[in-house]
Amino acid sequence: MPAGEVVLRKPRFFDGGAWSRTRLRDQAHLENWEPSAPGTWADRNASVAWPSQWSTLRALGRRGLSLPFVITVDGQFAGQITVGNVIRGSLCSAWVGYWVAGDVVGGGVATAAVAMVVDHCFSSAGLHRIEATVRPENTASLRVLAKLGFRQEGVFRRYLDVAGDWRDHLCLAVTTEDTGDGLVPLLLAQGKAALP
Q: What is the DSSP annotation of 36-56? A: --SS-HHHHTSGGGHHHHHHH
pLDDT at 191: 78
- Residue 160 belongs to some domain of the structure: yes
Low-confidence stretches of the chain (pLDDT < 50) are 1
Kind plus residue range of the DSSP H or E element containing 9: strand 6-9
Count of the separate structural domains present in the chain? 1
**In this structure, what CATH number is given to the domain that contains residue 36?**
3.40.630.30
- Residue 128 belongs to some domain of the structure: yes
pTM recorded for the entire structure: 0.94
- Residue 196 belongs to some domain of the structure: no
Of residues 87, 81, 69, 171, the one with CA closest to residue 128: 87
pLDDT at 2: 57
- Residue 130 belongs to some domain of the structure: yes
Cβ atoms of 94 and 87 closer than 8 Å: yes
- Residue 1 belongs to some domain of the structure: no
- Residue 41 belongs to some domain of the structure: yes
**What's the pLDDT tens digit per position in 8-63?**
999 999 999 999 999 999 999 999 999 888 889 999 999 999 999 999 999 999 99
Distance CA(25)–CA(1), nearest Å, equals: 22
Burial code of 85-118, b = ≥16 C-beta within 10 A, e = fewer?
A: ebeeeeebbbbbbbbbbbbbbebbbbbbbbbbbb
- Residue 52 belongs to some domain of the structure: yes
CA atoms lying within 13 Å on the CB side of residue 42: 0
- Residue 99 belongs to some domain of the structure: yes
138 lies in which domain range?
6-190
pLDDT at 196: 63
What would you report as the CA-atom Rg of the chain, rounded to the nearest whole angstrom? 16
